[in-house]
Structure 1
Amino acid sequence: MLAVRKTTPAHGFSLDDVPEPEIRAADDVVVEVEAAGICGSDVHAYEWTGGYEWMAPLMPLTLGHEFSGRIVARGSDAGGLPLGQRVTVWPSSGCGRCASCRGGEPENCLNKKTIGLMKDGGFARRVVVPAAACFPVPVSIDAELAALTEPLCVGAQAVEVGDVRLGDTVVVLGPGTIGQAIALFARLAGASPVVVVGRNDGERLATVRRLGLIHTVDVAHDDLGLAVERLVGGKVDRVFEATGAGASIGDGLGLLRKGGVLVAAGIHARPAEIDLTSLVRGKLQIRGTHGARPATWKRVLKVLAESGEDFRPMISHRLPLEQAAEGFELARRKVASKVMLMPAGA
């Protein structure tokens, strides 16, 4: 079968013919992948961006951690998941043994090996995953919407970390998939207005507007502070950073009212400079968020089952696995929103 493989610590990937995976543990299942989204982390691995050097000793491995598919084989201790069940896969499920897992926080597992970044992932026709990492997908959710679950969970978790409440004013820095997810779940939490900001990001900001989020700013053509003040009427309650650009942290802090909260969700290759005096005197907070807890996955699947079509505009391209290189370039150049690879038959 074909697989998108990271084989060397350098720019690019390989599209290789690899053996079909086999179950090696009693609690494993084989998932036949129906849809798999290209994430910003995949693009960083493709470009070999700073901060991903830890992947080098794990190569070669198959990329892809946002995916859905159907169970086609199962181990003897794979729980109640029947063959044919459509699932979406939590890529960072816990080991079940460490202090975090025993304490009910498997999302903070000390021994986790992220599917698609630390071990073989979903950019292939089939992948082996722990049964415990699989969330059954309601029948009303199709494969491509199910494959959006992981990034939507990241966004929903960020909004929870930010403690967004009814009537809060929110700015989201970064119009990519995570930024879109944050904006959508902030709106669901009752925030208004929600402003999404990009730089030279016409295509993705257009996607944001198709999602019904009408307040957008492109800082290549507009001053950030003035634009936000014009749209909101002053400083804001919450800022979410989903760019991975260090300067955006300082920019975001400058938008907050006294006592406001900035939630950092982007992955940064370099340290960021922060004006701590302004932070202290403004009684501001910076909170970090990464991944999502199991309860968030269940909540997001419930939302998708009830209103999945509201999220479909996030998907801009659907390509066969053989065209993965095209998909990665679309994502890298920011001329796509979410690119879905369809591995069936590859």
Structure 2
Amino acid sequence: MRAWAVVENKAPLQCIEVDDPVPVGTEVVVDVSHCGVCHSDLHFWEGSYDMGGGQIMRLRDRGVTLPRAIGHEISGRIIAHGPDAEGIEIGEQCAVYPWIGCGDCDRCAAGDDNLCMRQQSLGVLRHGGFAERVVVPHARYLVPLNGIDPAWAATFGCSGITVLSAIKKLQPQAPDSPVLLIGAGGLGLSAIAMLKALGHDRIISADIDARKREAALDMGATQAIDSAAADAAQQVEAAAGGKLSGAIDFVNVTATAQLATAVLGKGGKLIMVGVGGGQIPLSLAGMVFLARTVQGSNTGTPQDLRDVVSLAAAGKLSRIPLHRMPKDEANRAMTLLNENQVSGRIVLTKGAGASEHALARKSADP
């Protein structure tokens, strides 16, 4: 089968041939119809993460080998399975949970594959959705779509479950309690839709890009603020009517984390999701006096994926803007994302692209 893979970090993806998967045991083979393009794919392409304080985490030091087909926002059709796979049907359209755990540890036993220390995630340590097919080790990682648009459902495996998991960590929050969302890309827009689906109606979005702020308002944010403005913190507090009890940072660089902590009141919670990199100073005594919580949030669980699909099936979840592009244009998709040209989510398809929203054509590779 073909796979659009990172063969060398920071070099254009290459279309390579890899062996067709033959499932054994409980394994399931999914023919990928759609795959979202995420900022984490860019980090994989770069091969490293900024850990702050001059420290760099290199993926090769974490067991990642190349070539690797990236892509972890996957939906597709079941085409084969091993003899021990149960509860599935050939031809069934499913969303795929990509953050595969080891299956043996206490975290996996509790259903928290995303917290497993020995993950085998699709698009990271296993070939992901930029390949034509993926191997899923067990049917519990598949959620039937039951008529949901598979292009939209593909995004649930990362952006959908990541925002749901982060919002859960903010709870309890009254429906009219203002929540700050920093970043209005695919995750930020998904979070607006998710908050509204869960009954929240005071959502403040902050982003440096005017187009993305407009997209946030279109999705239902009550106010959108330029996070790079000198008085951004004052604008957020004015919009909220005072200090906030909750914020989620989908960018998570030094400047955005400082903005979020500046506007939190006593007992406030900051949930960190983005991996932009950097660090912030924290007053240890101040954390006690203000009783604040600063918490990281790493994707979500298989149950979160089932919950997101249920919300979508019930008609409660609004769609984010989707830009469909054929998989042969994977490099162009990565370039557009790298150049901050995307509002919403690019979703790679098997066939010709049919974008729901126009994107300017770029010719350079990422």
Query: TM-score, normalising length from structure 2?
Result: 0.86
Q: 2:39 and 2:345 mapped to 1: Cα distance? A: 10
Contact between 1:85 and 1:136, CA under 8 Å: does it hold in 2? no
Work out the percentage of aligned pairs sharing the same amino acid: 25
Correspondence for 2:149: 142
Alignment pair present for 1:208 and 2:216: yes
Among residues 309, 329, 335, which one is paired with 2:335 in the alignment? 329
Confirm or deny: 8 A CA contact 1:156 1:181 kept in the other structure. Answer: no
1:111 maps to: 118
- Whether the 8 Å CA contact 1:95–1:109 is kept in 2: the answer is yes
CA shift at 1:237, angstroms? Answer: 1.2
Question: 2-side partners of 1:17 and 1:46: how far apart?
Answer: 16
CA displacement at 1:141 relative to structure 2: 0.1
User: Where do 5+ consecutive residues of structure 2 fail to align?
Assistant: 51-56, 354-366
Contact 1:175 1:204 in 2 (8 A): yes
Structure 1 pair 257–140 and aligned structure 2 pair: CA distance change class (3 A): same
* Post-superposition offset of 1:268: 4.4
Q: Tell me the alpha carbon deviations over residues 176-230 of structure 1, each in whole angstroms, 9 at most, x when there is no partner.
A: 222222233233333341101111x223223222212241112345621121122
1:274 aligns with 2:277: no
Cα distance between partner residues in 2 of 1:342 and 1:308: 25
Aligned to 2:39: 40
Cα gap change, 1:221/1:252 in structure 2, threshold over 3 Å: closer, same or farther? closer
Contact in 2 for aligned 1:6/1:12 (Cα 8 Å): yes
Q: Match of 1:65?
A: 72
Asked if 2 retains the 8 angstrom alpha-carbon contact of 1:125 and 1:344, the reply is no
Q: Contact 2:111 / 2:301 at 8 angstroms: preserved in 1?
A: no
Q: 1:37-72 CA deviation, whole Å, 9 max, x = no partner?
A: 001100122234435512464211110000100011
Q: Partner residue of 1:314? A: 321
**Unpaired runs of at least 5, structure 1:** none
Q: Give the aligned residue type for 1:41.
A: S
**Maintained 8 Å contact 2:268/2:291:** yes
Q: How does 1:160-179 map to 2 (within 5 A)?
A: 160-166=168-174, 167-179=176-188
1:234 equivalent to 2:238? Answer no
Q: Indicate if the aligned counterparts of 2:5 and 2:68 stay in contact, CA closer than 8 A.
A: yes
- CA deviations on 1:218-262 (whole Å, 9 max, x unpaired) are 234562112112212111110111103123222211111111111
Aligned length: 342
Which residue of the partner structure matches residue 191 of structure 2?
182
Task: Tell me if the contact between 2:13 and 2:331 (Cα under 8 Å) persists in the aligned partners.
Answer: no
Further displaced range: 99-108 or 280-289: 99-108
Is the CA contact (8 Å cut-off) linking 1:2 and 1:18 kept in structure 2? yes
For the residue of structure 2 that corresponds to 1:318, the secondary structure is strand
Distance 2:114 2:38 in 1: 19
Partner-residue secondary structure (3-state), 2:80: strand
Q: Which residue of 2 aligns with 1:257?
A: 265
Number of the residue aligned with 1:3: 3
In structure 2, the residue corresponding to 1:148 is in which secondary structure? helix
What secondary structure is seen at the aligned counterpart in 2 of 1:185?
helix
User: CA RMSD of the aligned region, Å?
Assistant: 2.2
Q: Which amino acid aligns with 1:235?
A: K
Q: Corresponding residue for 2:312?
A: 304
How far apart, in 2, do the equivalents of 1:92 and 1:82 lie?
22
Say if 1:204 and 1:334, in contact at 8 Å, map to a contact too. Answer: no
User: 1:328: Cα distance to partner?
Assistant: 0.8
Secondary structure, counterpart of 1:208 in structure 2: helix
CA distance in 1 between partners of 2:315 and 2:261 (Å):
33
Quick check: 1:54 aligned with 2:62?
no
Note the C-alpha offset of 1:344.
4.7
Label 1:318 to 1:111 Cα distance change in 2 as closer, same or farther (>3 A): same
Using the size of structure 1 for normalisation, the TM-score is 0.91
Out of 185, 192, 198, the residue aligned to residue 207 of structure 2 is 198
Counterpart secondary structure, 1:281: helix
Deviates more, 1:60-69 or 1:274-283: 274-283
Which residue matches 1:78?
A: 85
In the alignment, what sits opposite 2:131?
124
